[in-house]
């Protein structure tokens, strides 16, 4: 997967983000204990390593299932046409 390799090669994670507060307001993730909320680069890296997508790519009803697999994302996109 090309974008995953890119993130790995870059080898950087951002621990502070100037858009942190703004990101938190926009974040639709309902998994409250997560420490990556508001730090989107860490969120995306984390899920890509697991073969998943971040919560913000899913509609609310699918996000709430916590099935963030790329397979579920594809299924969701194809279902919504």
Residues in the site for ligand SF4, rule: CB under 6 A?
29, 31, 34, 36-37, 43, 46-47, 54-55
> Smallest distance from the beta carbon of 26 to ligand SF4, in angstroms?
11
> Smallest distance from the beta carbon of 78 to ligand SF4, in angstroms?
21
Read off the tokens for 77: 């996109």
CA distances from 73 to 18, 29, 61 (A): 29, 15, 12
Q: Which lies closer to ligand SF4 via its Cβ, residue 11 or residue 33?
A: 33
| Pairwise CA distance, residues 67 & 2, whole Å | 22
């Amino acid at each position: 997967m090309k974008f995953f390799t890119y993130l790995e090669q870059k080898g950087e994670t951002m621990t502070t983000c100037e858009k942190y507060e703004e990101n938190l307001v926009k974040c639709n993730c309902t998994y409250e204990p997560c420490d990556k909320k508001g730090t989107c680069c860490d969120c995306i890296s984390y899920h890509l390593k697991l073969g998943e997508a971040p919560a913000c790519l899913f509609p609310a009803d699918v996000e709430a299932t916590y099935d963030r697999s790329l397979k579920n994302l594809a299924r969701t996109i194809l279902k919504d046409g």
